[in-house]
């Protein structure tokens, strides 16, 4: 059960990073005027959404990279533990 929870949380990382990046951009650029200036503000709503989606994709990519590195690290650690257990059984027997 513990292993499944660990895999679930590692797989959840890209979603969390993507949402955090998207929300971070949305809250830092709450008006279009801050993004493009007051002259083009009425026309920039779609541009703001495109930037927000870009930040979400970048956050998801970062989350994927972190999840891959963390997953590889956890897999390497579990393989070492399995090898140690196998060696300990061979010595004890």
pLDDT at position 79, please? 87
To the nearest 5 percent, what fractions of the chain are helix, strand and coil?
90, 0, 10
Categorize the per-residue pLDDT at 15 as very low, low, confident or very high, splitting at 50, 70 and 90. very high
Q: Read off the tokens for 52.
A: 């927000």
Q: What is the pLDDT of residues 34-72, one digit of tens each?
A: 777 778 777 777 888 888 999 999 999 999 999 999 999
């Amino acid at each position: 059960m513990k292993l499944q929870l660990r895999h679930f949380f590692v797989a959840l990382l890209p979603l969390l990073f993507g949402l955090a990046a998207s929300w971070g951009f949305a809250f830092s650029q709450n008006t279009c005027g801050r993004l493009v200036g007051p002259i083009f503000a009425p026309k920039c709503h779609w541009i703001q959404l495109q930037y927000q989606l870009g930040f979400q994709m970048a956050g998801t990519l970062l989350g994927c990279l972190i999840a891959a590195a963390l997953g590889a690290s956890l897999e390497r650690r579990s393989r070492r533990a399995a090898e140690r257990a196998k060696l300990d059984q061979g010595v004890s027997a």
